[in-house]
A and B are shown apart, each in its own frame.
Chain A
């Protein structure tokens, strides 16, 4: 931009940080920031939303700080003189609030993180202005924008289904988080068939995606929805079968039991995580990772929303909050897959090294920090994948699933069987 083309604003511009009126060259990139009149309201809205999100997250962290605190809180509720049924309901509501808070806060965080990662992979900066420090408020402001956006329903759309589709997509995502461990023994619900439960609810969301594609009333969206259905139903199979070795090692479907089975160390220092079980563990990890990426509709498996072919696939005709619900669903499932990877293969809340004897026990890092950091590491892998690999074609995608991933998942169950047999005979990794 040459100096001649540079816009010259007649009125002075308010600098957000210093509060001074600027007449020079430092302009905010948006009209909103340049308009001092709307700035306080905008800032207040951002603060409110940030406060709500942080408040929910703080409630979640406060209640879930450790399971013992939760027990204390429940006992406190029980002593309050309310009938038992009411206490149970209130308790369920508290836990549900925590889980929803996790999902919402994760949406804000993951979108920002994805933008930064993609930007740095592509030698860009990503969001830098909003909020001041590296654009931390960018996604919060985006959420305000989406809330204020007009909600458009196309004339050709099936009105009711267009309204229901995002709901059907997001509700199972919230429900699937019920047995997910955020630390040792730290989950909203203890479900004995936890693994099966998570997979069952995660598989329902695709109905919402198909509904969205069909209800939009155009060919591109329909194609996107149908592709999503074909892809997700196909990749559920290797995703389920690649976990079977883990279930064999832990001999339980309960996530907490799987977490416990990986505690302890070989030779006193080598963690007994399932990813370190020879051959079967590594193969299962890789297969589950690939299938999870495919399940979340992300590159290299994002043909349902292939923007070079289908505009935006199934959510082309959605705007405002309906659209952001689909977005929230995608990142919710990324978080779910990250936590599942951490629990199944990376030892869950177990520390990678035994606690040193010269440090007092109360200084040890709590399990939920290990769990969250492992999940975040896996989430980084997800985001990294997206900006590294090219997209697969539809036929390549199906061939890869049915001719490579699924047979080898079956073979891997055999490898795991060999390991279990050796273990029963008393040799191999104990």
Chain B
């Protein structure tokens, strides 16, 4: 009962934040609503017993990416960003895309309707670590190599030329 309340509450937080992101006129408010939505997703992970994912989501998305987005919006925003409507007139096409995606997700979710998510929460960190540095060591290292390359590329292209 408590678990269900928590789960649906967090789902409501995530969805409300997502709707606010696209409906608010002020871009700074939108960026903050994105942070709220991401926190809701972290709460969903917590409700499902994925403790490592919960903390990682908060640390990286809410404490890092959301703040950087807010930062950029505040630093590079124009005055018109604060009161103009942030949406265009293509709502019919958007509704169609959303309907198709929603139907697909509904079908996918139907496959797992009888899988109980309410297993007793167990610590997952050790298992994740063993998998990442055991069975999946090569993809894990390849991903870190890709991230390193992206980082170096960002630094290389954004620096001023010192001639």
A-to-B contact residues, CB < 8 Å: 85, 88, 158, 161, 191-193, 196-197, 199-204, 206-207, 210-211, 214, 222, 225-226, 229-230, 233, 236, 240, 253
- B123 and A206 contacting across the interface, CB-CB below 8 Å: no
Given contacts A199-B63, A200-B54, 20 further A-B contacts (CB under 8 A): A192-B125, A193-B55, A196-B52, A196-B59, A197-B55, A199-B59, A200-B56, A200-B58, A201-B58, A203-B59, A203-B64, A206-B67, A207-B32, A210-B71, A210-B74, A222-B74, A226-B71, A229-B71, A236-B63, A240-B59
Instruction: Evaluate whether A196 and B55 lie within 8 angstroms (CB atoms) in the complex, with A203-B62, A204-B63, A226-B75 already known.
Output: yes
| A199-B59, A214-B28, A214-B74 as given contacts; A233 in contact with B67, CB under 8 Å | yes
The contact of B56 among A196, A210, A222, A229, by CB within 8 Å, is A196
Q: Which residues of A contact B124 (CB under 8 A)?
A: 192
What are the residues of chain A within 8 A of B59 when measuring CB–CB?
196, 199-200, 203, 240
18 A-B interface contacts by CB (under 8 A): A161-B29, A192-B51, A196-B55, A196-B59, A199-B63, A200-B55, A200-B59, A200-B62, A203-B59, A203-B64, A206-B67, A207-B67, A207-B70, A222-B74, A229-B67, A230-B71, A233-B64, A253-B125
Number of interface residues of B (CB under 8 A): 28
Q: A199-B59, A204-B58 are in contact. Are A193 and B52 (CB under 8 A)?
A: yes
| CB of B68 within 8 Å of the partner chain | yes
Judged by a CB distance under 8 angstroms, whether B66 is at the interface is yes
Binding site for A on B (CB under 8 A): 1-2, 26, 28-29, 32, 35, 39, 51-52, 54-56, 58-59, 62-64, 66-68, 70-71, 74-75, 123-125
A210 engages B58 (CB within 8 Å): no
Q: Which residues in B have their C-beta under 8 angstroms from that of A203?
A: 58-59, 62-64
- Interface centre among B26, B55, B66, by most A CB within 10 Å? B55
Give chain B residues whose Cβ lies under 8 Å from the Cβ of A202: 63
A200 touches B1 (CB 8 A): no
Complexed CA–CA distance, A230 and B67 (Å):
9
By beta carbon, the residue of chain B nearest A85 is: B2
CA distance A201 to B62 in the complex (A): 9
B42, closest chain A residue (CB): A200
- The answer to whether B51 and A191 touch across the interface, beta carbons within 8 angstroms, is yes
Q: Give B51 Cβ to nearest chain A Cβ, in Å.
A: 5
* Minimum CB–CB distance for B72 against chain A, Å: 10
Which residues on B sit within 8 Å (CB–CB) of A240?
59
- Docked CA distance A206–B71 (Å): 11
Q: Do the beta carbons of B52 and A85 come within 8 Å of each other?
A: no
Shortest Cβ distance from residue A234 to the other chain B in the assembled complex, whole angstroms = 11
Q: Which residues of A contact B74 (CB under 8 A)?
A: 210, 214, 222, 225-226
Among B62, B63, B124, B125, max chain A CB count under 10 A is at: B63
Nearest-neighbor residue (CB-CB) of A209 within chain B: B67
